[in-house]
Amino acid sequence: MFKIRPFQPTDAEYEAMYLVEKAVYPENADTVAEFKHGDANRKPEQFFQRWVVEEDGRLIAFGSASQPPQFKEPGRYRFNITVHPEFEGRGVGTAVYNQIWHTLQSRDAQPTIVETGCYQHHDQAVRFLHKRDYRQVMRWVITRLDLPAFDATPYAPLFNKLAAQGIELTTLPRLQKQDPHWLEKLYELEWQLMLDQPLPYTPQKVPIEQYKKLVVDNPRVILPSWFIAIKNGETIGLSLLEQGSAPGGLSTGFTGVHRAYRRRGLATAMKVRTIDYAKDAGYAFIRTGNEENNPMLVLNNKLGFREITARLAFEKRLENGSLS
C-alpha cells in the first residue's frame, strides 16, 4: 500500500524524483540540479509545497502545489502530479490530488483558478482532468528538428541584410564583456516579450535578482547558445538553447523580437544561429514548443521542425474554493 508524505530535500530523494519524471518525460525531464536550483531560489513568501508517494520504500510519484512568482491573480494556483508509468491506474494520482485540494482549502487566498498541464499523448492524464471538469485553455505544439540535415547556406543573404541595417548578432558571453548593463537590458526585453507571449494567465514582473537566478543562472542554460540582437546599443531580440534530457538533444528556451523590429527576418536569423551552434557542438536534435496560433510555429516549420506531440494547458475556475 502506498503512502503520501512531505518531500524531504535529500540527495537520494531528489534523485528518486528525477527517475520518476524521466520515466514519464524521457525528452523533457527536470534534472536533479534543476530541482535543487528551483527549490534554493524560491522566495520564502512564495507558496510552494511538494509531496512524494512511496510504496515498499520506493518513491513512485510526486506532486506539488504552488503560486509561481509570475502569477498576478492572488487566487490562481498551479499543481503538478507525476506518477511513474508502472503505477498508473491505481489511485495514486487521485490521492495526491486530494492532498493538494485539502492544502489549498487552508490558504488565506482561497483558490479561484487552478491550473495544470499535460501532454496530448498522455491519454490517462487528459481523462483525469476532464473527469474533474478541467477545461483546456491553450495548446503548445511540440516540434523537433533533426540537425544533421539542416543547411544554413540559404540564409546568408538574410545575415547580410540585417548587418546592412546596423543589427549585430552576438552571444551572451560577448555581451557580458562589452556592456556593463547587459542584465538590465535583457531583463527589460524579456519582460516586453512576455507581455506579447500567449499565456493562460496575466503575467507579473519578477524582480531582476530573481530573473537572474531563475533564468540566467538556471543549470539547464547554455550561455554561449544565447544569441542576442543589438542595434545602437539596445537589445532588440534573443534566442537561446537549453540542455535537454534525452542524449544528444537540446531545447529552445525562448525566442523573441522587440515589436519595433519584427517582420525583418530577425527571429529567423537568431534561430539559425542557435541551430548552427547546436550542430557544430555535435548535438543531434533540437526540441521546442509554440502556442498553436503563434507565428513562431510557422517559422519553425519553415526551418524544418516537425510536430511530435503537444502540451495542453488546463484550468478550473472555482466557486467557493471547491476543487472537487
CATH number of the domain bearing residue 9: 3.40.630.30
Residues 177 and 220 in one domain: yes
Q: Which of 311, 34, 72, 323 is nearest to 204 (CA)?
A: 72
Domain count, the chain: 2
| Torsion of Cα atoms, 254 then 259 then 260 then 264, to 10° | 60
Residues 299 and 197 in one domain: yes
Residues 157 and 295 in one domain: yes
Helical packing angle, 32-40 and 11-24, nearest 10°: 120
pTM of the model: 0.90
Is residue 124 one of the residues assigned to a domain? Answer: no
Residues 248 and 103 in one domain: no
Last residue of a domain, one of 111, 135, 168: 111
Last residue of a domain, one of 69, 96, 111: 111
What does DSSP say about strands 168-171 and 135-146: parallel, antiparallel, or unpaired? unpaired
- In the chain (324 residues long), the average pLDDT of successive 10-residue segments reads 95 97 91 94 91 97 93 92 96 97 93 96 96 97 96 96 97 96 96 90 90 91 96 96 89 93 96 97 96 95 97 90 53
Residues 57 and 205 in one domain: no
Q: In this structure, what are the phi and psi dihedrals at residue 251, rounded to the nearest 5 degrees?
A: -125, 145
Please, what's the b/e burial string for 224-248 (b: 16 or more CB within 10 A of its CB; e: otherwise)? Answer: ebbbbbbbeeebbbbbbbbbbbbee
Residues 169 and 102 in one domain: no
Q: What is the pLDDT of residue 197?
A: 87
- Decide if 206 contacts 43 (C-beta within 8 A): no
Q: What is the pLDDT of residue 74?
A: 87
- Where does residue 40 rank: exposed (0-12), middle (13-18), buried (19+ CB within 10 A)? exposed
Residues 169 and 245 in one domain: yes
Q: What is the pLDDT of residue 199?
A: 87
| Torsion of Cα atoms, 88 then 90 then 91 then 95, to 10° | -80
Last residue of a domain, one of 61, 94, 111: 111
Is residue 118 one of the residues assigned to a domain? Answer: no
| DSSP assignments along 159-190, one per residue | HHHHHHTT-EEEEHHHHHHH-TTHHHHHHHHH
Is residue 120 one of the residues assigned to a domain? Answer: no
Residues 175 and 261 in one domain: yes
Q: Which of 37, 134, 20, 162 is nearest to 77 (CA)?
A: 134
Residues 102 and 40 in one domain: yes
- Sign of the torsion angle spanned by Cα atoms 283, 310, 120, 199: positive
| DSSP assignments along 15-49, one per residue | HHHHHHHHHH-TTTPPPHHHHHHHHHTS-TTS-EE
Residues 165 and 298 in one domain: yes
Residues 210 and 253 in one domain: yes
Is residue 293 one of the residues assigned to a domain? Answer: yes
Is residue 137 one of the residues assigned to a domain? Answer: no
Residues 86 and 170 in one domain: no
Map residue 289 onto helix, strand or coil.
strand
Q: Which of 99, 117, 167 is nearest to 316 (CA)?
A: 117
Q: What is the pLDDT of residue 323?
A: 54
Q: What is the pLDDT of residue 82?
A: 98
* Residue 226, domain extent: 143-309
CA-based R_g, the chain, Å: 21
- Decide if 310 contacts 257 (C-beta within 8 A): no
Is residue 300 one of the residues assigned to a domain? Answer: yes
Is residue 131 one of the residues assigned to a domain? Answer: no
Is residue 319 one of the residues assigned to a domain? Answer: no
Cell of 295: 507565428
